[in-house]
A and B are shown apart, each in its own frame.
Chain A
Amino acid sequence: KAGVTQTPRYLIKTRGQQVTLSCSPISGHRSVSWYQQTPGQGLQFLFEYFSETQRNKGNFPGRFSGRQFSNSRSEMNVSTLELGDSALYLCASSLGSGSGYKTYEQYFGPGTRLTVT
């Protein structure tokens, strides 16, 4: 089955602009998590959505937001971009609920590389 897809793969924005990134999870997966990866901070958790509701949240400012649609696709938005927002943004999907060994295995997409100038 198809893996996690993220669009766009690369993006260049200027400071002060806003950006929306998209993630399509694996079919049947209801949980989508977002991460930011930078050389200095490593992989950091942003938030998780499950059944259109934010279920977990990391320690990021309110400029970072997200949402999930009824088909489990998710978007994240960053407003008022800063230079420090330049990073690889990864999303990961998982079943997210139920019992069973595979429920919480996360499958990551290729990421969107955002450059803020």
Chain B
Amino acid sequence: DAKTTQPNSMESNEEEPVHLPCNHSTISGTDYIHWYRQLPSQGPEYVIHGLTSNVNNRMASLAIAEDRKSSTLILHRATLRDAAVYYCILSVPTDSWGKLQFGAGTQVVVTP
């Protein structure tokens, strides 16, 4: 199964942008790139996902490299509530839909 590689941790100042990198060099053509975040004592929360094109939503932006071997999650203005573990995950196809297999994730620390 395709795997992802992320930095263990990143620190950001409040109201600054945060760029979270993810490498997935073994990605297949049909694998979706998902990002989830998890706050302490909570379940993972969907952030964004994409296949080939860059994606934007109210929470974040996802920039996907042209060769799809890497991607970057962009939080435009970090707040203290954005402090969480961020997981970059490949959705591996099984039958009709995918199977999410989590990597180690990046701990994001936001300082005031």
Tell whether A pairs with B. Answer: no
Q: Which residues of A come within 8 Å of B, CB atoms? A: none
